[in-house]
Amino acid sequence: MTNTDEQLFVGVMTGTSMDAIDVVIARFAGSRPTLADCRSQPLDRELREELLSVTGDTPLAQVAELDVRMGNALADAVLATLKQSGVSPETVHAIGCHGQTVYHMTAQRWPATVQLGDPNIIAERTGITTVADFRRRDLAAGGEGAPLAPAFHRAFFAHPLEDRIVINIGGMANLTYLPAHRGQQLTGFDVGPGNVLMDGWIAQQRGETLDKDGAWAATGTVDKELLARMRAEPFFALPPPKSTGRDLFNMNWVLRHIADGRAIPEGADVQATLCELTAGTIAEAVTQTCAQPQQVMICGGGAHNKHLMRRLAAHLPQCDIVPTDTLGIGADWVEAAGFAWLAREALAGRPANAVSVTGARHPAVLGGVYHG
Protein backbone atom coordinates (compact mmCIF):
# COMPACT_ATOMS: atom_id res chain seq x y z
CA MET A 1 0.00 0.00 0.00
CA THR A 2 1.47 3.35 -1.03
CA ASN A 3 1.39 6.64 0.80
CA THR A 4 -1.40 7.80 -1.52
CA ASP A 5 -3.59 5.10 0.03
CA GLU A 6 -3.11 6.52 3.51
CA GLN A 7 -5.81 8.55 5.22
CA LEU A 8 -5.47 10.85 8.19
CA PHE A 9 -8.18 10.87 10.84
CA VAL A 10 -8.33 12.95 14.00
CA GLY A 11 -9.72 11.43 17.20
CA VAL A 12 -10.92 13.64 20.04
CA MET A 13 -11.78 12.53 23.56
CA THR A 14 -12.54 14.11 26.90
CA GLY A 15 -12.98 11.69 29.75
CA THR A 16 -15.02 11.68 32.93
CA SER A 17 -12.37 13.71 34.75
CA MET A 18 -12.59 16.47 32.10
CA ASP A 19 -9.02 17.54 32.89
CA ALA A 20 -8.03 18.02 29.24
CA ILE A 21 -8.99 17.40 25.62
CA ASP A 22 -7.01 14.53 24.10
CA VAL A 23 -6.39 14.80 20.36
CA VAL A 24 -4.66 12.22 18.18
CA ILE A 25 -3.78 12.35 14.50
CA ALA A 26 -4.03 8.78 13.25
CA ARG A 27 -2.68 7.54 9.94
CA PHE A 28 -4.57 4.60 8.43
CA ALA A 29 -2.97 2.47 5.72
CA GLY A 30 -5.06 -0.56 6.66
CA SER A 31 -7.25 -1.46 9.61
CA ARG A 32 -4.62 -0.58 12.24
CA PRO A 33 -3.67 3.07 12.74
CA THR A 34 -0.29 4.52 13.50
CA LEU A 35 -0.29 7.71 15.53
CA ALA A 36 1.29 10.64 13.70
CA ASP A 37 0.90 12.90 16.73
CA CYS A 38 -0.86 13.01 20.08
CA ARG A 39 -1.48 16.08 22.19
CA SER A 40 -3.43 17.02 25.28
CA GLN A 41 -5.00 20.46 25.05
CA PRO A 42 -6.11 22.25 28.23
CA LEU A 43 -9.81 22.63 28.98
CA ASP A 44 -10.79 26.02 30.40
CA ARG A 45 -11.15 25.68 34.17
CA GLU A 46 -14.43 27.58 34.35
CA LEU A 47 -15.93 25.48 31.55
CA ARG A 48 -14.71 22.30 33.25
CA GLU A 49 -16.32 23.25 36.56
CA GLU A 50 -19.62 24.06 34.86
CA LEU A 51 -19.59 20.75 32.99
CA LEU A 52 -18.84 18.87 36.20
CA SER A 53 -21.81 20.55 37.87
CA VAL A 54 -24.36 19.44 35.26
CA THR A 55 -27.13 17.25 36.71
CA GLY A 56 -30.60 16.25 35.67
CA ASP A 57 -31.84 19.46 37.28
CA THR A 58 -29.56 21.82 35.35
CA PRO A 59 -31.65 24.35 33.36
CA LEU A 60 -31.98 23.53 29.67
CA ALA A 61 -30.71 26.98 28.67
CA GLN A 62 -27.47 26.36 30.57
CA VAL A 63 -27.00 22.93 28.97
CA ALA A 64 -27.59 24.42 25.51
CA GLU A 65 -24.99 27.12 26.16
CA LEU A 66 -22.49 24.54 27.40
CA ASP A 67 -23.05 22.51 24.22
CA VAL A 68 -21.97 25.52 22.15
CA ARG A 69 -19.04 26.43 24.40
CA MET A 70 -17.78 22.85 24.42
CA GLY A 71 -18.11 22.66 20.63
CA ASN A 72 -15.85 25.69 20.34
CA ALA A 73 -13.39 24.27 22.88
CA LEU A 74 -13.17 21.01 20.92
CA ALA A 75 -12.66 22.90 17.65
CA ASP A 76 -9.92 24.98 19.31
CA ALA A 77 -8.20 21.79 20.49
CA VAL A 78 -8.25 20.22 17.02
CA LEU A 79 -6.99 23.37 15.30
CA ALA A 80 -4.23 23.85 17.89
CA THR A 81 -3.08 20.24 17.50
CA LEU A 82 -3.02 20.45 13.71
CA LYS A 83 -1.04 23.71 13.83
CA GLN A 84 1.44 22.36 16.38
CA SER A 85 1.87 19.19 14.31
CA GLY A 86 2.29 20.99 11.00
CA VAL A 87 -0.69 19.14 9.52
CA SER A 88 -3.00 21.01 7.15
CA PRO A 89 -6.74 20.59 7.83
CA GLU A 90 -7.21 19.90 4.10
CA THR A 91 -5.25 16.65 4.47
CA VAL A 92 -7.50 15.26 7.23
CA HIS A 93 -10.23 12.92 6.02
CA ALA A 94 -12.46 13.29 9.08
CA ILE A 95 -12.64 13.96 12.81
CA GLY A 96 -14.14 11.45 15.23
CA CYS A 97 -15.31 13.31 18.32
CA HIS A 98 -16.89 11.73 21.36
CA GLY A 99 -18.03 14.92 23.11
CA GLN A 100 -18.41 15.30 26.86
CA THR A 101 -20.86 12.94 28.53
CA VAL A 102 -23.06 14.75 31.03
CA TYR A 103 -25.83 12.14 31.27
CA HIS A 104 -25.87 8.39 30.70
CA MET A 105 -28.72 6.37 32.19
CA THR A 106 -29.83 3.19 30.48
CA ALA A 107 -31.63 1.29 33.25
CA GLN A 108 -34.85 3.24 32.96
CA ARG A 109 -38.01 3.37 30.85
CA TRP A 110 -36.48 5.80 28.36
CA PRO A 111 -32.73 5.05 28.15
CA ALA A 112 -30.76 8.16 27.26
CA THR A 113 -27.24 9.48 26.87
CA VAL A 114 -26.12 13.07 26.30
CA GLN A 115 -22.73 14.25 25.06
CA LEU A 116 -22.03 17.98 24.80
CA GLY A 117 -19.85 19.64 22.16
CA ASP A 118 -21.84 20.64 19.07
CA PRO A 119 -20.24 18.85 16.08
CA ASN A 120 -21.73 21.44 13.71
CA ILE A 121 -19.36 23.97 15.24
CA ILE A 122 -16.37 21.63 14.93
CA ALA A 123 -17.10 20.95 11.25
CA GLU A 124 -17.73 24.64 10.53
CA ARG A 125 -14.62 25.96 12.24
CA THR A 126 -12.18 23.28 11.07
CA GLY A 127 -13.64 22.70 7.62
CA ILE A 128 -13.24 18.97 8.30
CA THR A 129 -16.05 16.41 8.13
CA THR A 130 -16.87 15.49 11.72
CA VAL A 131 -18.41 12.26 12.97
CA ALA A 132 -20.03 12.44 16.42
CA ASP A 133 -22.98 11.21 18.51
CA PHE A 134 -21.72 7.63 18.45
CA ARG A 135 -23.70 6.21 21.37
CA ARG A 136 -27.33 6.93 20.62
CA ARG A 137 -27.70 4.64 17.61
CA ASP A 138 -26.67 1.70 19.77
CA LEU A 139 -29.20 2.82 22.40
CA ALA A 140 -31.87 3.03 19.70
CA ALA A 141 -31.03 -0.57 18.77
CA GLY A 142 -31.63 -1.68 22.35
CA GLY A 143 -28.02 -1.54 23.53
CA GLU A 144 -26.31 0.18 26.43
CA GLY A 145 -24.54 2.68 24.18
CA ALA A 146 -21.36 1.71 26.01
CA PRO A 147 -18.67 0.67 26.10
CA LEU A 148 -17.76 1.36 22.48
CA ALA A 149 -14.01 0.80 22.79
CA PRO A 150 -14.05 -3.04 22.65
CA ALA A 151 -14.56 -3.14 18.88
CA PHE A 152 -11.46 -0.97 18.44
CA HIS A 153 -9.57 -3.02 21.01
CA ARG A 154 -10.32 -6.14 18.97
CA ALA A 155 -9.11 -4.48 15.76
CA PHE A 156 -5.86 -3.30 17.32
CA PHE A 157 -4.92 -5.54 20.26
CA ALA A 158 -6.31 -9.01 19.52
CA HIS A 159 -3.76 -11.83 19.10
CA PRO A 160 -4.39 -15.17 17.35
CA LEU A 161 -2.58 -17.20 20.03
CA GLU A 162 -3.19 -15.27 23.25
CA ASP A 163 -6.24 -14.52 25.36
CA ARG A 164 -5.90 -10.85 26.23
CA ILE A 165 -7.75 -8.39 28.41
CA VAL A 166 -7.70 -4.62 27.97
CA ILE A 167 -8.57 -2.48 30.98
CA ASN A 168 -9.24 1.19 30.37
CA ILE A 169 -9.00 3.14 33.62
CA GLY A 170 -10.41 6.56 32.91
CA GLY A 171 -13.06 8.18 35.06
CA MET A 172 -14.80 4.82 34.85
CA ALA A 173 -13.04 1.50 34.40
CA ASN A 174 -14.06 -0.81 31.60
CA LEU A 175 -12.89 -4.23 30.49
CA THR A 176 -12.51 -5.86 27.09
CA TYR A 177 -11.85 -9.60 26.77
CA LEU A 178 -10.15 -10.55 23.51
CA PRO A 179 -10.17 -14.35 23.13
CA ALA A 180 -7.49 -15.85 20.91
CA HIS A 181 -10.05 -17.81 18.92
CA ARG A 182 -12.20 -15.58 16.73
CA GLY A 183 -15.08 -17.98 17.23
CA GLN A 184 -15.32 -16.99 20.88
CA GLN A 185 -17.46 -14.05 21.84
CA LEU A 186 -15.98 -10.61 22.35
CA THR A 187 -16.81 -9.40 25.86
CA GLY A 188 -16.71 -5.89 27.24
CA PHE A 189 -18.43 -3.93 29.98
CA ASP A 190 -18.07 -1.11 32.47
CA VAL A 191 -16.57 -2.43 35.69
CA GLY A 192 -17.31 0.61 37.85
CA PRO A 193 -15.36 3.64 39.06
CA GLY A 194 -11.84 4.09 37.75
CA ASN A 195 -10.32 7.44 38.72
CA VAL A 196 -13.52 9.41 39.19
CA LEU A 197 -13.97 8.89 42.93
CA MET A 198 -10.28 9.25 43.78
CA ASP A 199 -10.12 12.46 41.73
CA GLY A 200 -13.29 13.80 43.32
CA TRP A 201 -12.17 13.01 46.86
CA ILE A 202 -8.73 14.62 46.57
CA ALA A 203 -10.30 17.67 44.89
CA GLN A 204 -12.75 18.03 47.77
CA GLN A 205 -10.23 17.39 50.54
CA ARG A 206 -7.03 18.95 49.19
CA GLY A 207 -7.99 21.08 46.19
CA GLU A 208 -5.90 18.94 43.81
CA THR A 209 -7.14 17.60 40.48
CA LEU A 210 -5.65 14.12 40.92
CA ASP A 211 -3.65 11.93 43.28
CA LYS A 212 -0.34 11.86 41.38
CA ASP A 213 1.13 8.34 41.42
CA GLY A 214 -1.47 7.45 44.08
CA ALA A 215 0.90 9.01 46.63
CA TRP A 216 -1.84 10.18 49.00
CA ALA A 217 -3.70 6.85 48.83
CA ALA A 218 -0.43 5.07 49.62
CA THR A 219 -0.22 6.91 52.97
CA GLY A 220 -3.65 5.71 54.07
CA THR A 221 -5.07 2.46 55.41
CA VAL A 222 -8.00 0.75 53.75
CA ASP A 223 -11.17 1.04 55.83
CA LYS A 224 -12.54 -2.48 55.44
CA GLU A 225 -16.03 -1.61 56.68
CA LEU A 226 -16.33 1.32 54.28
CA LEU A 227 -15.00 -0.84 51.45
CA ALA A 228 -17.57 -3.54 52.21
CA ARG A 229 -20.41 -0.99 52.12
CA MET A 230 -19.19 0.32 48.78
CA ARG A 231 -18.73 -3.16 47.33
CA ALA A 232 -22.37 -3.88 48.19
CA GLU A 233 -23.44 -1.45 45.44
CA PRO A 234 -25.89 -3.48 43.27
CA PHE A 235 -24.21 -2.39 40.03
CA PHE A 236 -21.16 -4.55 40.78
CA ALA A 237 -23.30 -7.70 40.88
CA LEU A 238 -25.07 -7.03 37.57
CA PRO A 239 -24.09 -9.32 34.69
CA PRO A 240 -22.88 -7.80 31.41
CA PRO A 241 -23.87 -6.01 29.29
CA LYS A 242 -23.75 -3.04 31.64
CA SER A 243 -22.55 0.54 31.65
CA THR A 244 -22.32 3.30 34.22
CA GLY A 245 -21.08 6.82 34.81
CA ARG A 246 -21.04 9.83 37.10
CA ASP A 247 -24.81 9.66 37.51
CA LEU A 248 -24.20 6.75 39.89
CA PHE A 249 -20.58 6.99 41.02
CA ASN A 250 -20.02 10.50 42.33
CA MET A 251 -19.12 12.35 45.53
CA ASN A 252 -22.65 12.07 46.90
CA TRP A 253 -22.31 8.29 46.60
CA VAL A 254 -19.02 8.38 48.54
CA LEU A 255 -20.34 10.71 51.25
CA ARG A 256 -23.45 8.59 51.72
CA HIS A 257 -21.35 5.48 52.37
CA ILE A 258 -19.06 7.38 54.74
CA ALA A 259 -22.08 8.70 56.66
CA ASP A 260 -23.42 5.16 57.08
CA GLY A 261 -20.37 4.20 59.16
CA ARG A 262 -19.79 4.41 62.88
CA ALA A 263 -16.91 6.88 62.55
CA ILE A 264 -15.59 9.32 59.95
CA PRO A 265 -12.32 7.96 58.48
CA GLU A 266 -9.24 10.09 57.88
CA GLY A 267 -9.04 11.61 54.41
CA ALA A 268 -6.06 9.48 53.35
CA ASP A 269 -7.85 6.34 54.55
CA VAL A 270 -10.84 7.16 52.37
CA GLN A 271 -8.50 7.68 49.40
CA ALA A 272 -6.80 4.34 50.07
CA THR A 273 -10.23 2.70 50.25
CA LEU A 274 -11.37 4.25 46.98
CA CYS A 275 -8.17 3.04 45.31
CA GLU A 276 -8.78 -0.46 46.69
CA LEU A 277 -12.36 -0.33 45.42
CA THR A 278 -11.11 0.32 41.90
CA ALA A 279 -8.34 -2.30 42.07
CA GLY A 280 -10.53 -4.96 43.65
CA THR A 281 -13.50 -4.58 41.32
CA ILE A 282 -11.23 -4.63 38.26
CA ALA A 283 -9.43 -7.75 39.50
CA GLU A 284 -12.70 -9.51 40.22
CA ALA A 285 -13.99 -8.65 36.75
CA VAL A 286 -10.80 -10.02 35.17
CA THR A 287 -10.93 -13.36 37.01
CA GLN A 288 -14.65 -13.80 36.36
CA THR A 289 -14.22 -13.08 32.66
CA CYS A 290 -11.09 -15.10 31.87
CA ALA A 291 -9.47 -17.53 34.28
CA GLN A 292 -5.95 -17.14 32.87
CA PRO A 293 -5.40 -14.30 30.38
CA GLN A 294 -1.92 -14.29 28.87
CA GLN A 295 -1.78 -10.52 29.15
CA VAL A 296 -3.70 -7.72 30.85
CA MET A 297 -3.12 -4.42 29.08
CA ILE A 298 -3.82 -1.14 30.86
CA CYS A 299 -4.72 2.17 29.26
CA GLY A 300 -6.21 5.44 30.45
CA GLY A 301 -4.99 7.85 33.09
CA GLY A 302 -5.11 5.18 35.79
CA ALA A 303 -2.09 3.52 34.16
CA HIS A 304 0.04 6.30 35.71
CA ASN A 305 -1.25 5.70 39.25
CA LYS A 306 1.63 3.66 40.66
CA HIS A 307 -0.18 2.74 43.87
CA LEU A 308 -3.24 1.56 41.94
CA MET A 309 -1.02 -0.53 39.65
CA ARG A 310 0.67 -2.11 42.68
CA ARG A 311 -2.69 -2.97 44.22
CA LEU A 312 -3.94 -4.41 40.93
CA ALA A 313 -0.80 -6.55 40.62
CA ALA A 314 -1.31 -7.78 44.19
CA HIS A 315 -4.85 -8.89 43.30
CA LEU A 316 -3.72 -10.53 40.03
CA PRO A 317 -0.32 -12.12 40.73
CA GLN A 318 -0.87 -14.67 37.96
CA CYS A 319 -1.26 -12.01 35.25
CA ASP A 320 1.29 -10.16 33.14
CA ILE A 321 0.07 -6.56 33.54
CA VAL A 322 1.51 -4.12 30.98
CA PRO A 323 0.62 -0.68 29.62
CA THR A 324 -0.68 -0.56 26.05
CA ASP A 325 2.48 1.39 25.16
CA THR A 326 4.16 -2.00 24.69
CA LEU A 327 1.77 -2.75 21.81
CA GLY A 328 2.08 0.53 19.96
CA ILE A 329 -0.42 2.99 21.48
CA GLY A 330 0.41 5.02 24.56
CA ALA A 331 -1.93 4.44 27.49
CA ASP A 332 -3.14 8.04 27.34
CA TRP A 333 -4.19 7.90 23.70
CA VAL A 334 -6.13 4.67 23.22
CA GLU A 335 -9.58 6.21 23.69
CA ALA A 336 -8.96 9.12 21.32
CA ALA A 337 -7.44 6.75 18.75
CA GLY A 338 -10.56 4.64 19.09
CA PHE A 339 -12.76 7.54 18.03
CA ALA A 340 -10.57 8.19 15.00
CA TRP A 341 -11.17 4.52 14.11
CA LEU A 342 -14.91 4.82 14.78
CA ALA A 343 -15.10 7.81 12.41
CA ARG A 344 -13.38 5.74 9.74
CA GLU A 345 -15.80 2.85 10.24
CA ALA A 346 -18.79 5.21 10.06
CA LEU A 347 -17.72 6.80 6.78
CA ALA A 348 -17.09 3.33 5.33
CA GLY A 349 -20.60 2.27 6.37
CA ARG A 350 -19.31 -0.50 8.62
CA PRO A 351 -21.11 -1.41 11.88
CA ALA A 352 -18.91 -0.72 14.91
CA ASN A 353 -21.02 -1.71 17.88
CA ALA A 354 -20.12 -5.11 19.25
CA VAL A 355 -23.57 -6.49 20.07
CA SER A 356 -22.14 -9.04 22.49
CA VAL A 357 -20.79 -6.06 24.44
CA THR A 358 -23.58 -3.49 24.31
CA GLY A 359 -26.55 -5.86 24.11
CA ALA A 360 -27.95 -4.20 20.99
CA ARG A 361 -30.41 -6.19 18.87
CA HIS A 362 -28.21 -5.92 15.77
CA PRO A 363 -24.98 -4.39 14.48
CA ALA A 364 -25.26 -0.72 13.56
CA VAL A 365 -23.23 1.99 11.89
CA LEU A 366 -22.48 4.48 14.65
CA GLY A 367 -22.28 8.25 14.51
CA GLY A 368 -23.82 11.20 12.74
CA VAL A 369 -21.84 12.81 9.91
CA TYR A 370 -21.42 16.59 9.79
CA HIS A 371 -19.77 17.58 6.54
CA GLY A 372 -16.89 20.02 6.51
Write down how long the chain is. Answer: 372
Q: Is 216 in contact with 268 (CB distance < 8 Å)?
A: yes
Tell whether 15 is in a known binding site: yes
Tell whether 127 is in a known binding site: no
Peptide bond into 323 cis (omega under 30): no
Tell whether 94 is in a known binding site: no
DSSP string, 105-134: E-SSSS-EEEEES-HHHHHHHH-S-EEE--
Peptide bond into 147 cis (omega under 30): yes
Tell whether 171 is in a known binding site: no
Tell whether 146 is in a known binding site: no
- Cβ neighbors of 90 (< 8 A, separation 6 or more) are 127
Tell whether 19 is in a known binding site: yes
Adjacent-strand bridge partners of 165: 177, 296
Tell whether 17 is in a known binding site: yes
CA distance 70 to 85: 22
Adjacent-strand bridge partners of 33: 28
Tell whether 244 is in a known binding site: no
Is the dihedral angle over the CA atoms 300, 173, 73, 48 positive or is it negative? negative
Q: Is 358 in contact with 241 (CB distance < 8 Å)?
A: yes
Which residues sit in the known binding site? Answer: 15-22
Q: Which residues are annotated as a binding site for ATP?
A: 15-22
